[in-house]
């Protein structure tokens, strides 16, 4: 078995025991990248020389007795929204095709401190404004979308190039590609981790987090990324919990909310079956299933878009004025629409979000976590990014995919997507576990329990050129 095929914790154990070197691990990742990249185009920029240089440094540190922990010597993919010192950071846009930051983003700096090794920057839907990432393919079916906006990260993890890649999530952009590419994706609580040095889509909806091969990997990386940062006023100054030690505690007595509305509407039957099977598995392990009604459900998506669009337009106002031709037509149209939104509509959307958040707090008084399908349907064709429903109607993939993922952004609650099965055509399906504010350890524990009782988590897509 190749090193890239092993679970991260197994590779970490070999590195700590000096059975393998970080250089060997990094070279294995680079070889896998070379085999898959012609079909997937998951990466904007690949940094093999820098990666091997960092790996050699890690090898020397470990040989000298300075082992930093289980992330030391592990290769990392980074969504191209994150600043990386001395490395091109384009946000997959012509607007930034020559931008080379001088410093690392907060998350990349923390993961470098943990000893991780940058092997490249992964594609995003331009400036994260979409859910399909047109530049990249799905590792399970390269003619289909990997989702977005963190599509390159999802493809890289799903293909086995890296164990972990960073994503960002404003309406579902970590969990959408996680579900479509058969990986784990964690969107933390709003305020858990700093977004400094990450290009913004919508400052009051943006979150940063990992996509990974399994739940333990996400727990390790999220813990390393988390913490207060005075440069990001949204971060909350509370202790970062141990996100790993309680994973195996099980779900006996855990009250799991099963929605009877919203997450049951306009839903692919195979996605519905996967979510039902996950609920049955957890119930069989001692969890209590509690039916809940999603409050104010008809207002969630209007609030999401009414907040996101003007905030995105405000962030890009200089580019929109000075060089609009450098945006793709799709993104420019969205930004122009956001710029035309009335201030009163934006303020009312913020007020509506407050009501939604309060209603969800009330709902969570009777449950510990909420279990739901991550997405309404599996991956669409890249050439035709629409979902066709049984009645013949067609829905744009971005609008459809965001529908189930956006509630966690509007509420700011943590949400973990884990693989839950495959369609009859071999495409991945996911379920998401939403929790109370800053309850990442709890949703990770539920996700880990599901992972241990399924054979679909941790699979690597058999893609190769």
Element (H, E) at 428: strand 428-435
3-state secondary structure of 179: helix
- Euclidean distance between CA atoms 393 and 54, whole angstroms: 51
Task: Pick the closest to residue 131 from 419, 394, 464, 404 (CA basis).
Answer: 404
Matching residue, tokens 């963190």: 150
Contact 126, 108 (CB under 8 A): no
- Structure tokens given for 104: 């690392």
Residue 16 CB-half CA count within 13 A: 12
Q: How far is CA 263 from CA 68, 146, 184, 297, 409, in A?
A: 42, 22, 20, 10, 15
Matching residue, tokens 């979000």: 353
β-bridge mates for residue 78, sequence order: 121, 166
Q: How far is CA 441 from CA 47, 157, 220, 245, in A?
A: 33, 22, 11, 9
Phi-psi region of 242 (alpha: psi -120 to 50; beta: other; left: phi over 0): beta
Find the catalytic residue in 28, 92, 105, 173: 173
Find the catalytic residue in 21, 79, 110, 136: 79
Cis (ω within 30 of 0) for the bond into 437? no
Contact 167, 173 (CB under 8 A): yes
79 belongs to the catalytic site: yes
Tell me the residue length of the chain: 465
- Structure tokens given for 347: 């303020």
149 belongs to the catalytic site: yes
60 belongs to the catalytic site: no
Phi, psi of 340 (to 5 degrees): -90, -5
Find the catalytic residue in 28, 92, 105, 149: 149
Phi, psi of 185 (to 5 degrees): -140, 130
Element (H, E) at 164: strand 164-169
- Euclidean distance between CA atoms 174 and 190, whole angstroms: 14
- Euclidean distance between CA atoms 86 and 100, whole angstroms: 6
Contact 375, 346 (CB under 8 A): no
Active site residues: 79, 149, 173
């Amino acid at each position: 078995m190749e090193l890239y095929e092993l679970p991260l914790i197994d590779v970490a154990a070999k590195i700590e025991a000096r059975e393998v070197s970080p250089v060997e691990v990094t070279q294995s990742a680079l070889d896998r990248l070379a085999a898959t990249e012609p079909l997937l185009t998951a990466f904007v920029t690949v940094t093999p020389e820098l990666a091997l240089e960092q790996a050699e440094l890690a090898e020397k540190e470990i040989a000298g007795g300075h082992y930093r922990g289980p992330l030391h010597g592990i290769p990392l993919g980074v969504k191209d929204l994150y600043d990386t010192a001395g490395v091109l950071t384009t946000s997959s846009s012509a607007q930034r095709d020559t931008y080379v930051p001088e410093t690392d983003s907060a998350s990349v700096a923390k993961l470098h401190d943990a000893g991780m090794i940058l092997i490249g920057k992964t594609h995003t839907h331009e400036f994260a404004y979409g859910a399909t990432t047109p530049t990249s393919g799905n590792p399970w079916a390269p003619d289909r979308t990997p989702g977005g906006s963190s599509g390159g990260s999802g493809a890289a993890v799903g293909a086995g190039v890296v164990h972990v890649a960073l994503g960002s999530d404003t309406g579902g952009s970590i969990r959408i590609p996680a579900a479509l590419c058969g990986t784990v994706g964690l969107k933390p609580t709003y305020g858990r981790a700093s977004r400094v040095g990450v290009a913004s889509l919508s400052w009051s909806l943006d979150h940063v987090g990992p996509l990974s091969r399994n739940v333990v990997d996400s727990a390790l990386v999220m813990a390393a990324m988390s913490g207060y940062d005075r440069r990001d006023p949204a971060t909350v100054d509370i202790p970062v919990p141990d996100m790993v030690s309680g994973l195996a505690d099980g779900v006996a007595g855990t009250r799991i909310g099963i929605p009877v509305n919203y997450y049951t509407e306009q839903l692919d039957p195979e996605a519905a079956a996967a979510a039902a099977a996950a609920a049955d598995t957890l119930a069989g392990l001692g969890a209590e299933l509690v039916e809940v009604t999603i409050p104010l459900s008809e207002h969630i998506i209007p609030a999401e878009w009414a907040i996101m669009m003007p905030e995105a337009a405000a962030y890009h106002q200089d580019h929109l004025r000075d060089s609009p031709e450098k945006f793709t037509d799709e993104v420019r149209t969205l930004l122009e629409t956001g710029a035309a939104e009335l201030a009163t509509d934006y303020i009312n959307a913020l007020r509506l979000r407050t009501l939604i958040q309060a209603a969800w707090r009330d709902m969570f008084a009777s449950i510990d976590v909420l279990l739901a399908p991550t997405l309404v349907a599996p991956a669409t064709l890249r050439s035709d990014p629409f979902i066709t429903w049984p009645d013949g109607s067609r829905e744009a993939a971005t609008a459809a995919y965001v529908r189930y993922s956006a509630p966690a952004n509007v509420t700011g609650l943590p949400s973990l997507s884990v693989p839950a099965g495959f369609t009859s055509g071999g495409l991945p399906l996911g379920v998401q576990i939403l929790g109370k504010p800053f309850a990442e350890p709890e949703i990770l524990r539920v996700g880990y329990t599901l992972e241990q009782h399924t054979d679909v988590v941790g699979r690597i897509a058999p893609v190769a050129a």
